Amino acid sequence: MAAPYRLDPADPTAFPPAALALDDPDGLLAVGGDLSPERLLAAYRQGIFPWYSEGQPILWWSPDPRTVLYPDRIHVSRRLARTLRRTALRFTADHAFEAVVAACAEPRPGQGGTWITGAMAQAYARLHRLGRAHSVEVWDGDRLVGGIYGVAMGRVFFGESMFSRVSDASKMAMVRLGERLTAWGYRLIDAQVYNPHLARLGAETLPRSRFLELLDAYCSEGDEASSWRARWDATEAHHGTG
């Protein structure tokens, strides 16, 4: 089996082409480097993301196929639509980014650990402070019960992880996120790898080559670093939800 490409620590933007990623394990492309904002943003722009466990070197991936959602085509079942209409839960953005990341890092049932290491959490907190990483929060009163976080670039949101502490919280967060992204002109949500939870929300898979074409088309459109907090609140008020 071929070895993954070793990154040049002196050049944070240099990655090999995603098409050179291994088939086994699917998508493993490179090893090493760091988690600086410059390197992370360069990776996302090229369809690459970090994913590794504590004690491992940093591993960089670009799986084929790639799982995506289109913000304006998120599937809302009748049951979920009814739950959204009746819920007393509250939805915000960029109010508690680090708390969302910490909740996503908590081990899930059947998992022995987490890939959201301390270094990863710190790296995305830096991106958040730069206006590049964002969170959606779900609140029951003052208690954080669900959320999503990821990276925004151009008209693409690169989803990293989500969590629920009450039934359907992460699904509702994704629906609200899709509504807001649609209103703001976003075209694509990168969900990285397939899972049944995302499939129920309308996720589909694309060949990596097509995914990279979409990044070329959308990542350079309307790119800006900013907080989503006031923007989300204004959109929520306009739509009368949240």
- With the C-alpha atoms ordered 76, 84, 163, 18, is the resulting torsion angle positive or negative? positive
Q: Do 206 and 184 share a structural domain?
A: yes
Answer yes or no: do 109 and 208 share one domain: yes
**Is there a single domain that holds both residue 94 and residue 193?**
yes
The CATH number given to whatever domain includes residue 110 is 3.40.630.70
* Same domain as 92, residue 57: no
Question: Which of 41, 63, 85 is where one domain is finished?
Answer: 63
Tell whether 213 and 227 lie within a shared domain.
yes
Last residue of a domain, one of 13, 35, 63: 63
> Considering Cα of 14, then 18, then 19, then 20, what sign does the dihedral take?
positive
Residues 121 and 160 in one domain: yes
User: Which residues does residue 149 pair with via DSSP β-bridges, in sequence order?
Assistant: 135, 161
185 and 90 both lie in a single domain: yes
List residues bridging with 59 in a β-sheet.
31
One domain for residues 161 and 110: yes
Q: d(Cα 82, Cα 198) in Å, to the nearest integer? A: 19
Which residues form the domain of 50? Answer: 5-63
DSSP letter assigned to residue 57 = P
Residue 170 sits in the same domain as residue 74: yes
| 81 and 53 within one domain | no
Q: Verify that 37 and 143 share a domain, yes or no.
A: no
Q: Are residues 192 and 209 in the same domain?
A: yes
Of 63, 91, 108, the last residue of a domain is 63
Are 69 and 157 in contact by the 8 Å Cβ rule? The answer is no
**CATH classification at residue 12:** 3.30.70.3550
pLDDT at 3: 72
Instruction: Indicate the number of domains in the chain.
Output: 2
- Contacts with 1 (C-beta within 8 Å, 6 or more apart), sequence order: 22, 24
Going residue by residue through the chain, which has 242 residues, state the pLDDT in tens, using 9 for 90 and above.
Answer: 577 999 998 999 999 999 999 999 999 999 999 999 999 999 999 999 999 998 999 999 999 999 999 999 999 999 999 999 999 999 999 999 999 999 999 987 655 557 899 999 999 999 999 999 999 999 999 999 999 999 999 999 999 999 999 999 999 999 999 999 999 999 999 999 999 989 999 999 999 999 999 999 999 877 678 899 999 988 876 665 55
